[in-house]
Structure 1
Amino acid sequence: MSVARPTRTRKDPAQPKPRRKTAKTKRSASTGHRTDLLESMLRIRHFEERCVELYSAAKIRGFVHLYIGEEAVAVGVNGALTAGDAVVSTYREHGHALARGITSDAVMAEMYGRTTGCSGGRGGSMHLFDASRRFYGGNAIVAGGLPLAAGLALADRMRGRTDVTCCFFGDGAFAEGEFHETANLAALWKLPLLLVCENNRYAMGTALERHEAQTDLAMRAASYGMVAWSVDGMDVEVVEEAARRAVEGIRAGTGPHFLELRTYRFRAHSMYDPDRYRDKSEIEQWRSRDPIRLLRDRMRENGELRDKDVEAIEQRITTEIDHAVEAAERAPEEPVENLLHHVTSSSAEAVS
């Protein structure tokens, strides 16, 4: 396993190195961890596939941005974070929330707009939130989470905490002023901030080379004086190792770090998107590097995974998501008389 060194951006991530086969299944701590990574990615994949079915059946409404194909980013980065660290996400955040530990029940109920959802049914697909896990929400505004993440990082440092704030955003955020303002202040003040760019090559329907004159995103981030490098975002183990190195550097006081994770969404920008701007052969080429398949095949080649192990994991996840759907459909909607709650602070909240 290898990670690109923190220098400059490279071309498309290289294919994974072949692994030596072994005769029988190995059981070790590393095997257990890889199994956990695989299960986390499968949970996201199955959850998103169920969302497609529910959206098509008009069970969930509004804008829905699926994370299928990018699972290695959410799982690998969150694997390097602790419970005390903070996470700020984007509108494509189902995978981030699940990888952070928000339950399938809470996320699915939020998709349905029910009071048992993680945001009380008020946020929906783009505004998942759970303060108990320091998951400070998705954000419907491109690059909108970046200044919030800088504020969280600054607050933690002022309180004497050693926690890191991780902010996810897409390549389209580079065209927004919020990225440059945040990068500048984070580097100037040496904030404990991990900037994670999910470069899936398209800002909605616009290819990276059509909206950025300089497509070397890591080099651009490095120009602000922070450590920055590009990583194969389709390999969860590579992502996790890179994120751990970055987090260790941040905790050591070296200031913000930037990771450009080169990934790809297999489906359209959103469920409304007809996806006519990408060549089908390009999609299939990236599908050949499906992050779930990469890890699964690697474990099989190493003798660490059997077909029945995968079947057991998938059955467990299917049962979990079935329960989440059933619970969401039984959960109550918010009464109309409560619609003004949480809009302004109460007198008790104002005093506290």
Structure 2
Amino acid sequence: MIDVDRERVQAYRYAAQQLDRSAAHVGDLAVLSLGVPDSPAGSAAQSVRARVPGAEVPADLVLAWSVRGSPHLHRPADLPALARQLYPTSDADVVARMPVMRAVDAPLRVFARTVAAMREHARETTDRGTLSAAVTAEVPEASAWCQACGATHVFYSLYLQSGLAAGVRLVRRSGRLQITATGDWTIPQRTEDLPALVEQVLRLQGPGSVADVAAFLGTSAAALRPSWPEGLAEVSVDGRRAFLPPEATAALESPPPARGVRLLPPGDPFLRVRDRAQLLPDPGLRALLWRATASPGALLVDGAVRGTWRARKAGRELQVAVTAFGELTAGVRAEVEIESQQLAATRGAASAAVVYDSI
């Protein structure tokens, strides 16, 4: 068994997710295999530029509701296999992913009907509300009255998590979300090759347990355990038992030192950890970074979270407010300025102005 501490794991994750800027092109980013989260809208572009400075998001990448039903940026060629891997394995798996589905009989069968309805009604470009109303009519048993909307509609988690299997793609234009189903698509009939997906999660996220990977995928450990891959290497992370694909152990034993300053948006793959204490041990600081709503971005310095940031546009200027967890050196501040200028370009601003606070 390999014995490592949390600092080595974070150095491994930094390199595996190419925050070391080892990728020459956006299309080469390993994180695209699982998708780059785009919630809040536009954050995927920030995650991309944190790894490939100055790069534009290629037009051939697409947005889809994928892992956990959240919008992610993907390579189109990856999506058919991912849709099969993420297709629920059982009624219990459907309920683990969408607890509201306890209210229906035969949840997996209802999920399949919802997928078919999503595809049928998204063949022509539509919007969220129109598609929801059409799908609701097809699966009335999986719908409920929504006080906020003043209408009955399909369970929202079911609506989102059916999108990938239905071949749904998302396009944001002028602040509005448009939805369409890709033309060349085969709806999965069952789960396929889930162990390979588990291995890829571990490869990119670092050593983890069944519960860690289940949380990443949005299911339960009980539902995932039958698909757990054989032959994984055992790893002890500060005494906690975890697993990693055997071919990744050499990189874990001697990862290159994490270097540089990165401004990571909320939801960046590096921040998606079940045990947040491994990334940020102080519980008070964790509460500042991971909030119930409107979380800030993370200031990463040499692979460690050293603060948070928020940004807003004022005319052509992006105003970046950094709250540091302790003092920042002049060198770190200089790198923050550089990263903020890149963030300004991502947000469509001509320049950035940085203000600092500290805790």
**TM-score, normalized by the shorter chain, greater than 0.5:** no
> TM-score of the superposition, structure 2-length normalised?
0.29
Q: Which has the higher contact order (CA 8 A, sep 6+)?
A: 1
Which has the larger share of helix?
1
Which has the larger share of strand?
2
> TM-score of the superposition, structure 1-length normalised?
0.30
